[in-house]
Amino acid sequence: MKPLLNAVERLGRGSIFLAKTLRVLPKLLPRFGLVIHQLHSVGVQTLLIIVVAGLFVGMVLALQLYYTLSTFGAEDTLGMLVDLSLVRELGPVVAALLFAGRAGSALTAEIGLMKATEQLSGLEMMAVDPVERIIAPRFLAGFIAMPLLAAIFSAVGILGGYAVGVDLLRVDAGAFWSQIQAKVDFSEDVLNGVIKSFVFGFVVTWIALFEGHDCIPTSEGVARATTRTVVHSSLAVLALDFVLTAIMYN
Amino acid sequence: MFRSIELTVGAFVGIGLAALFMLAMQASNLSSFTSDGQYALTARFDNIGGLKVKSAVKVSGVKVGQVSAIDYDMETFEAVVTMRIDERYDKFPKDTIASIFTSGLLGEQYIGLEPGGDDQVLADQGEIRHTQSAMVLEQIIGQFLFSKSQDNGGNEGF
């Protein structure tokens, strides 16, 4: 009974925390420089892992799908299959998992350490709201960065699939692109993928910031909060992906 | 230091938007049809087979539009298919024939238009009178088996 009550209480605290964060977001507009600095640490520094992962995921997709498709003589649909798998599922989901591991854990550790070294209380002593000064810019940056990272992941993945499919496995380049343009729908496939990545960015950043803000202010507490961030946000992404897919393509 | 951060963030956002743009223009059908400048045509079929909304409408193999709605008329017991045709192709004769074809043996189905010789042209909301239903593979096989068994003397069968 007690763990259940604990979980419900954490959910409540998390929701209140989210409401507080969302309420101060408009105050960020005059000081957008704070968000840009966070975009650097959340977005730019995650870019490399996203590009490399996207490239390899696209390449292995092309390789795997080619061997299955060639048994039916349907190699020409390779581009469409790679594109659809990336923009609908793998782009948003894998990018969000990498984002949780790379940026989410860093956010939790940073804010947890700020709490452990009493920097957050220090800000409050100076009548500076830590939610407004520390939390909100990071939240907005994560929300903006995630869809961009997912789009980059998908685009690089398609290019990786093209490199393997067309250059290595000799699929016709014209068929590769024309099948994509004939069968991939912008609003149905691409836009729904973008909506997914917005939702994932929102949830992962929320969990990461809340875990950091809510951690026990000791080194062990920060370590546990960081682990929880990665585990919880990965599970949240996978579960939400199922729900969103069921709503979007039922 | 401050400037370089803004520079990298600007580059990051730029690359991200470029990737989105590429997904929209190159990796989807957004560039292949424009929503402005279209007109509607309807056609009635006995059987539309596997035709779906957004299936292609082709003339001589060239895509000129797509199916925008499929309905069923309870008065005449026919399927009513509404197509949106690109305005560039607005001079189809009144006696144009609309048929439902399959691309390849098991590919998806599309509407093929065959222009007739009438002087009058189909206007917006116009109806194509001459239609040919989809070929249903099971029916064809059934007919084939039936004719085959008749050739063999009726009740011999297989």
ipTM confidence score: 0.81
Residue of A nearest to B14 (CA): A148
**A61 contact B CB<8A:** no
Number of H helices, E strands in chain A: 12, 0
Pull the structure tokens for residue A25: 């977001």
If you measure CA to CA, which chain A residue comes closest to B10?
Answer: A36
Sheet of B38-45, strands arranged across: B126-128, B38-45, B78-86, B62-73, B56-59, B109-114, B97-102, B130-132
**Yes or no, beta carbons of A156 and B19 under 8 Å apart:** yes
Residues of B in Cβ contact (< 8 Å) with A154? 19, 23, 27
- Name the B residues in 5-34 with CB < 8 Å from any A CB: 5-6, 8-9, 11-13, 15-20, 22-24, 26-32
Cα distance from B142 to chain A (closest Cα, Å)?
26
pTM above 0.90, yes or no: no
Minimum distance, in Å, between the CA of residue A83 and any CA atom of chain B: 7
CB contact under 8 A, B12 and A151: no
Q: What is the pLDDT along chain A (250 residues), one digit of tens a residue?
A: 888 998 899 999 999 999 999 999 998 888 888 899 999 999 999 999 999 999 999 999 999 999 998 888 888 889 999 999 999 999 999 999 999 999 999 999 999 999 999 999 999 999 999 998 899 999 999 999 999 999 999 999 999 999 999 999 988 888 888 888 878 888 888 999 999 999 999 999 999 999 999 999 999 999 999 999 999 999 999 999 999 999 988 7
Q: Which candidate in B17, B25, B28, B110 is best for mutational testing of the A interface (most A CBs within 10 A)?
A: B28
CB contact under 8 A, B29 and A181: yes
Among A40, A158, A189, beta carbon nearest to B5: A40
Listing DSSP states for A88-151 in one string gives IIIHHHHHHHHHIIIIIHHHHHHHHHHHHTTHHHHHHHTT--HIIIIIHHHHHHHHHHHHHHHH
Alpha carbon distance B6, B19 (integer Å): 20
Q: Inter-chain contact A183–B29, Cβ cutoff 8 Å?
A: yes
